[in-house]
Amino acid sequence: MRINIISLFPDLIENFMNYGVLGRAIKESKAHLQIYNPRKYSTDIHQTVDDRPYGGGDGMVMLAENLDLTLGELKDAQELGEIYYLSPQGPLWNDEMAVSWANERATKTLICGRYGGIDQRVLQKHKIMEISIGDYILSGGELAAMVVVDSVFRKLPGVLGNELSAISDSFSKMGLLEAPLYTRPAIWQDRKVPAVLLSGHHEKIETAKDIMSYIVTALKRPDLIEKNGLHQSLKKALQEVSQWDPQELLAWGVEQNNLAQLKKTYLGEDFD
């Protein structure tokens, strides 16, 4: 898969792409990331890429011409694909979109905005779509672009050392959060690892993790229960987990008062 990034500050991206999962994917040619700088098409000594906005307002606006010529270069090379502008006005990026892009493996082009934004006319001419990584403002689109790229590339086959990692991540399993994680030692500062995880019984372990995914999601992100229509499955998880030993629940990080509140909310019951 290939993703192009159009940025006025390519060094920000080049530094990021040399490390971790992303760097390994690129070095092993399992993914391709190309950077294009619109300053290339500036014609003055100052390499101007922005100007004051018509109608007034704070900040500057990126020039349409530089972006248009950069996109034309990619189109001529047949390496353009779908074009996206990283913008707080776009739909929120999520795991489903990352999976979709990774499965398509089609070329995408991301435009990193700077200053106050980019000239609307280039967005209209090229039918550029928008993506947001959250309801907040960044100084530029580079960080947002790398969030998108990293979330997509790690979904590509062979990129992660363990293929199951991407499947078990939060949001990957029916939109649920991942169950709590533990490693050695089995007891740390008098805090124990949940006993089931030390049992060696893989079926029981997976069942416990699945149940805890529902509980953790209901506690931390109840909006996901509503969004993904998981009420019935959550009720079954609550009925099951209410039979667990309180110490085992506490080892998972679930206190009795939290469980009682969940049962009251989703089962309409009080819990002693």
Q: Is the Cα dihedral 81, 115, 15, 168 positive or negative?
A: negative
What is the CATH number assigned to the segment(s) 170-266? 1.10.1270.20
In the chain, CATH 1.10.1270.20 sits at 170-266
Residue 106: count of CB within 10 angstroms of its CB = 11
First-residue to last-residue Cα distance in the chain = 54
pTM: predicted TM-score of the whole model, two decimal places:
0.86
CB distance 239 to 250 below 8 Å:
no
Return the ∠ at Cα 235 (arms to 232 and 238), rounded to 5°: 155
pLDDT beyond 60 at 270: no
pLDDT beyond 50 at 272: no
In the chain, CATH 3.40.1280.10 sits at 2-153
- Considering the chain, what is the average pLDDT of its residues? 93
Fold of domain 2-153:
Alpha/beta knot (3.40.1280)
At 231-264, the pLDDT tens digits run 999 999 999 999 999 999 999 999 999 999 999 9
Interior/surface letters 256-265, b for 16+ CB within 10 angstroms, e for the rest? eeebeebbee
At 128-170, the pLDDT tens digits run 999 999 999 999 999 999 999 999 999 999 898 655 555 556 6
